[in-house]
Chains A and B, each alone.
Chain A
Amino acid sequence: MTVWLVAACLIVCAVLAAAQTKNSCLDCHSNLPEPLGVSVETYSQNIHAQKGLTCAACHGGDATADDPEKAMSRSAGWKGKIEHKQVPELCASCHANAELMKKYNPGLRVDQFQQYKTSVHGQRWAKGDAKVAVCTDCHGVHELRPPSDPRSKVHPTNIATTCSRCHADAEYMKPYGIKTDQFAKYQESVHHEAMTVRGDLSAPTCTTCHGNHGATPPGVANVTNVCANCHVFQAQLFATSPHKAAFAAAGFPGCVTCHRNHGIKHPGDHMIGMGEKAVCKNCHVDGDAGAQQAVTMHDELATLAAAIAASDELLTHAERQGMEVSQAKQQETQARDALLKARVTVHTFSEKELKKDTDAGLAIAKQTHAAGEQAMVEWRYRRVGLGFSVAAIALVLVGLGLYIRNLEQK
């Protein structure tokens, strides 16, 4: 009896569940060609479908009706194709509704539409520009996946490509008069390398600096603030440096003046000084006080880097000879930390401050180099010791051999 009751309950639940998720639209549209076609596979991977929403949630109509006339009747609220300009408000009808969104994803923000309206995209959309990006241009339409899905157009690894679809299209961007080389430069940058080569999903992409829904090109005044979100210490030190006021007076933005914006290359010691690739010479000329200080700072960094490299080479050589130098190798990391710190301190543009870090690093590198030299002295001592020991053993063996021969000849 109990078994029958349970079976009946299961059947009722299954029927109800089927009725709730019934989506008759797919019966026809899964067989239609683009742009009207939506395959069952695409639909099944759509985040909205996974949350139990049907086509009717956006397009209206009655997805439970098998008759196409009823399903797509105006009386059932069928809207048909959604116009590009209608998209933001349609999406916002749910995504700006905190009460409703709580049911599906309590953690999701509901201010995207508000932010969008403050962005250049949103402002142009409000003025009737049909070319600017709306929600579906970035997130996709029927293949819409959550941002955490690597196949999503707004997954961190795909964002730059998504933005580039418009912003790297010179013809498309022509009316707006802005450059279209950002994506090409970004692909050469250290940030792109971190994202794609090292797989660091926290590495900056377009939206990290420009924002996403509230996308707006940051003005000169706040570029340093954007970089400071990650490069906190460098920004703090720059704020105390003489360059802060000088850059502001000259109308230069902060970080990007030396490091560039989209095409940020891996920074190196070559950037400071008056060498071929140094950025200081963009403003300073040979012989001025700033140039002299830049050259000194470059030399201090180079000296420490060379001292660490020499120590490392010696310790590695000793290690290959079988010497135990792991403590010195461990200590060497402190010298590397000092060099790293010095490279951050560069942003004070103070030779005195930099010297504190490089001196600390040099002292450690000197100790580790001495440990390497000591290891090699010990290595040579062992070789000599081995030679004497083997000779002594050989002598004893010869002596024993002669003694035995003598003994047995008697």
Chain B
Amino acid sequence: MATRATNVRGWFDDRFHLDDLKALAKKKTVPLHRYSYWYFLGGMTLFLFGVQVMTGALLLLYYRPGADEAFESVQFIMTQVQFGWLIRSVHSWSANLLVFMAFAHLFSVLFLRSYRKPRELTWMSGVLLLILMLGFGFSGYLLPWNTLSYFATKVGTEIPAQIPVIGRPVLLFLRGGEDITGSTLTRMFGLHVAILPAIATLLIVLHVGLIQWFGMSVPPGVEAAWAKNPGERREIRFFPNFVLRELMAWYVALGLLGTLAALFPWTLGVKADPFAPAPAGIKPEWYFLFMFQTLKLIPAKIFGMDGEMLGILAFGVVGAVALLLPFLDREKPFHTRRWITGLACVFLGYMAAMTVYGWVAK
């Protein structure tokens, strides 16, 4: 048995030089300091994405896109398919945890200023991945074709329609027509299971590849302390020490997912009826709530311009600033570096406050 394993290993070694990889893994280290725990957030986000891929693939075995079939197929998954309820609940809970984790990862990287040279592209690919995750959330929300998802998508697709010039074409593109119909559902399905995963896979490969290429970033304060006292520098081996720790984080995430899915299974609601009036107090998913609440509160007219449109443009500017953040982190000419942490704190507080306000508001 042992000889056969050695032979197989030898076969691969001949072709892929596994010993070189082993040497690289042994050589690779991860800095160890008081902020090292934040390194696990990226890995947990990746783990949750993996859960999404696996549970999504299983759901695909039974899910049927179409206004006449989608709701019934999800109902079938939840009631007739062995562990179908668990797969669907895990998929839904994991989607929410994934978005939360991606936001937490982004802000941890921001506050630790890990986006600095040479990691500009790592940051940018990460921001794009977060936007993609929000896209996954939006496109996946309609797929069960229930009342809540139907009207939330209706409200959600109306928001980009406020953008000048391209607004209406965007609305028609997203909906596949004037209204939310079966065409919208198949579009969202296509986006959710083909187009977004393809782009996300490319970006994840780029993002993880860049992290491996540059290694983990050390926060500037720790870096300065280590430069002053090189004896304080501490590192652990990537394999197996860091990988095993990461594995523990993944297990924690798995336990949390299973508990949430079993104790609070994701409900299906009532099948969407396009002719029924919208239920009162319709709201989007929590991660869009801060934008939704802002657009609700914004005055109809600001300096003679459409308030909602200005709000959407403002969020667009925030997105662009976030994407280009590494290039704004500089001392000259406006000392922007000093402002970034403060502004990020304000924005994070604003997001949290608006999300809570949107949650409790009727």
Contact = CB atoms under 8 A, between A and B. Distances in A.
Interface of A: 322-324, 326-327, 382-383, 385-386, 389-390, 393-394, 396-397, 400-401, 403-404, 407-408
B259 A404 contact: no
B85 interface: yes
24 contacts: A322-B264, A322-B267, A323-B265, A324-B85, A324-B265, A324-B267, A326-B268, A327-B79, A382-B86, A385-B262, A386-B258, A389-B255, A389-B258, A390-B258, A390-B259, A393-B254, A396-B251, A400-B247, A401-B248, A404-B244, A404-B248, A407-B240, A407-B241, A407-B244
Given A407-B240, A407-B244, 6 more contacts: A322-B263, A326-B268, A386-B262, A386-B263, A393-B254, A397-B251
Contacts of A394: 255
A404 B240 CA distance: 9
Interface of B: 75, 78-79, 85-86, 236, 240-241, 244-245, 247-248, 251-252, 254-255, 258-259, 262-265, 267-268, 270
Contact of B265 (A322, A389, A400): A322
A382 B262 contact: yes
A386 B251 contact: no
A408 B241 contact: yes
A241 B270 CA distance: 43
Contacts of B78: 324
A324 B78 CA distance: 7
B183 to A, nearest CB: 26
A247 to B, nearest CB: 45
A389 B261 CA distance: 12
Contacts of B85: 324
B241 A393 contact: no
Contacts of A401: 248
Given A324-B85, A407-B240, A407-B241, A400 B251 contact: yes
A400 B248 contact: yes
A401 B252 CA distance: 12
Contact of A324 (B79, B251, B255, B262): B79
Nearest to B72: A327
Given A389-B258, A393-B251, A396-B251, A324 B241 contact: no
Contact of B75 (A327, A386, A389, A403): A327
A404 B258 contact: no
B244 A400 contact: yes
A400 B255 CA distance: 15
Contacts of A390: 255, 258-259
Nearest to B74: A324
Contacts of A400: 244, 247-248, 251
Contact of B255 (A327, A393, A403, A404): A393
A386 B86 CA distance: 11
A397 B244 contact: no
Give the most central of A322, A385, A394: most B CB within 10 Å.
A322
Contacts of A408: 236, 241
Give the most central of B79, B236, B270: most A CB within 10 Å.
B79
Nearest to B245: A404
Contacts of B258: 386, 389-390, 393
A389 B268 CA distance: 25
Give the most central of A383, A386, A403: most B CB within 10 Å.
A386
B259 A397 contact: no
Contacts of A326: 75, 268, 270
Contacts of B240: 407
A401 B249 CA distance: 11
Contacts of B86: 382
Contacts of B75: 324, 326-327
A175 to B, nearest CB: 54
Nearest to B269: A326
A397 B250 CA distance: 10
A182 B65 CA distance: 59
B343 to A, nearest CB: 38
Contacts of B262: 382-383, 385-386
A403 to B, nearest CB: 7
A42 to B, nearest CB: 38
A407 to B, nearest CB: 7
Contacts of B264: 322
A319 B53 CA distance: 29
A390 B263 CA distance: 12
Nearest to A403: B244
A324 B71 CA distance: 13
B149 to A, nearest CB: 15
A382 B265 CA distance: 10
Contacts of A393: 251-252, 254-255, 258
3 interchain residue pairs of minimum CB distance = A386-B262, A322-B265, A393-B255
A152 B86 CA distance: 60
Give the most central of A400, A401, A404: most B CB within 10 Å.
A404
Contact of B268 (A324, A383, A396, A407): A324
Give the most central of A324, A390, A404, A407: most B CB within 10 Å.
A324
Contacts of B270: 326
A401 B248 CA distance: 8
Contacts of A389: 255, 258
A386 B75 CA distance: 22
A326 B244 CA distance: 43
B146 to A, nearest CB: 10
B340 to A, nearest CB: 35
A322 B255 CA distance: 19
A404 B265 contact: no
A394 B247 CA distance: 13
Contacts of B265: 322-324
